[in-house]
Amino acid sequence: MRALLSVSDKTNLADFARGLVARGYELVSTGGTARALAEAGLTVTLVSKVTGFPEMMDGRVKTLHPGVHGGILARRDRSDDMQAIAGQGIEPIDVVVVNLYPFARAAADRRTTVEALIEEIDIGGPSLVRAAAKNFRHVVVVVDPADYRTATEQLDLPNGPSEAYRLSLACKAFAHTRSYDDTIASALSSVEVADGSFTRGAPPPEPLAPDTLAIKAARLRTLRYGENPHQTAALYADGAVGFGGAQVLQGKELSYTNLLDLDAAARLMIEFDEPAAVVVKHMNPCGVATAASLSEAYVMAREVDPLSAFGGIVGVNRPLDRDTATAITSTFIEAVVAPEADAEARAVFATKKNLRLVLADCAPAAADLRLTREVRSILGAVLVQEYDRVAEAASPWDASAASPDQSDFRVVTARQPTDEEWAALRLAWRVSAHVKSNAVVFAVADRLAAIGAGQMSRVDAVKVATMKATTDLSGTAAASDAFFPFRDGLDAIAAAGATAVAQPGGSVRDEEVIAAANEHGIAMVFTGRRHFRH
């Protein structure tokens, strides 16, 4: 029995190959894979010995030969096939272990030249995979190191791998080559030709709602579990932006919920230009603050709701330093996401072995063309929407200007907000867009004060915020992610002590709500845009 191995991803390769040898397989391999197996102490037959030809043109041609493909494609239950290969001295190949050149990784790096990119296009590999998958009844094809264990178990069955298992591997193999070809076509479509030379241009933007939605992503890792331990889960990405290029420096394996919370923290922290820290629990912020230093911002954010912060997720928009790392590790935190961490910070985090430290530069990800579209599955269908950006609060306000530009904010009450209230309104409004609806949040100029998240009415959202507040809400500014359908929500905010409110406006009872704000002496601004988050 023969097994052909030619892989780019050599994860667990040697162990799997030892298992094949133990089961009586002769190993046939190429180039780098053969070297890796030999270095692991395994005996390997080079493909060139099977074909009678050396690898040619820097490895461009090595497995494209009847001596290889005849051995893979021969149908064992067809005597004419078996006689045909026997007449040519070709031996059957029963197991094919192949995964392809890392084209997606090379394409994601904009520094990769067109010439280098072309050399990452695998020719022999897809041919081997397709041949083995076509003959799945007789050949086991493995393209994913995650399948090594089950493949070994199947080989140990009395009659060998079941037909159902062989078919499942074949389907996975064809999906592997299809995804690979799609990635190549996409990358080459951005190549520009001028004066006989080829250069890489920007990838063409995809329409938000194409006629056919194609989602192409490679599995980066299998996760600890899904939302619950009994659910399996995995992380996929189609590039190296955001969490697709994240480094997990330490800690336990990430779970599905860890990544959802890390994403929620990242989305909120990149709303701020100044040093900012956010604490997230179950995809809702429970603390947000800005300050002159990152460590001060974190401590202020944690103290907004220290009870909820325990076991939470932290996001910061600056590289982590020792002081910030020391503050974070002073209490129990599940995971931290930051653009970078210096050596001193890493040493502090290393004292907390289970804390996950994730480095991901998420600001470019939010601006990346591929992330203007968000996709969510529902039962039997898929929803697509544009990424929500809090653009109306993005431009900073210059308090020294005679007529400061408040972007889309429009004062609708008799009283104008003070400078301090304007700053608090902007912070509250940015945060409200990242809180599950219905949402009402309270803030001062540099930090969140209280959060009412995910309620069925805005009055209840205010009640939750006031119940959870650890400080007096007098003099705060409040933000509601959608309009007030009645004045009762505004009355509740006034009763809590807020003196300024931001809301989209647009209710049929806007005038009633404005009148209520004037009665309470509250300054209210309409933002002109709703930010539901479900």
* pLDDT tens-place string over residues 245-261: 888 999 988 999 999 99
The DSSP output letter for 368 is S
pLDDT of residue 120: 76
Of 256, 272, 270, the C-alpha closest to 223 is 256
Verify whether residue 434 is a known catalytic residue.
no
Q: Is the dihedral of CA 283, 286, 288, 294 positive or negative?
A: negative
Mean pLDDT of the chain: 87
Distance (Å, whole) CA 273 – CA 295: 16
What pLDDT score was predicted for residue 396?
Answer: 41
Per-residue pLDDT, averaged over 183-194, amounts to: 76
- Kindly name the residue from 10, 172, 252, 282 that is annotated as catalytic: 282
* Overall pTM > 0.75: no
Check if the beta carbon of residue 448 is closer than 8 Å to that of residue 269.
no
Rounded-to-integer distance, Cα 491 and Cα 512, Å: 11
Residue carrying structure tokens 């809301």: 503
Report for 22-36, 383-397, 427-441: range of highest mean pLDDT: 427-441
Contact (Cβ atoms closer than 8 angstroms) between residue 275 and residue 318: yes
Residue 368 pLDDT greater than 60, yes or no: no
**Is 520 considered catalytic here?**
no
Each residue's pLDDT tens digit, 204-237: 666 677 777 777 777 888 888 899 999 999 988 8
Contacts of 330 (CB under 8 A, 6+ apart): none
Return the DSSP state at 271. Answer: T
Rounded CA gap, 382 and 394, in Å?
Answer: 31
Using a pLDDT cut of 70, give the percent of the chain over it: 92
How would residue 359 be classed by pLDDT, with cut points 50, 70 and 90? very high
d(CA 345, CA 357): 10
Per DSSP, the residues of 46-71 read EHHHHHSS--BTTTTBSS-SHHHHHH
Domains (range + CATH), the chain: 2-193 (3.40.50.1380), 240-366 (3.40.140.20), 406-526 (3.40.140.20)
How far apart CA 269 and CA 430 sit, in angstroms, is: 10
Cα 390 to Cα 183, 260, 304, 394: the distances in Å are 32, 20, 23, 7
Q: Cα(11)–Cα(114) distance, rounded to whole angstroms?
A: 28
CA distances for 260 relative to 106, 187, 247, 255, angstroms: 27, 29, 16, 9
**What was the pLDDT predicted at 392?**
77
Tokens 């064809």 — which residue?
174
Which of 10, 134, 463, 468 is catalytic? The answer is 134
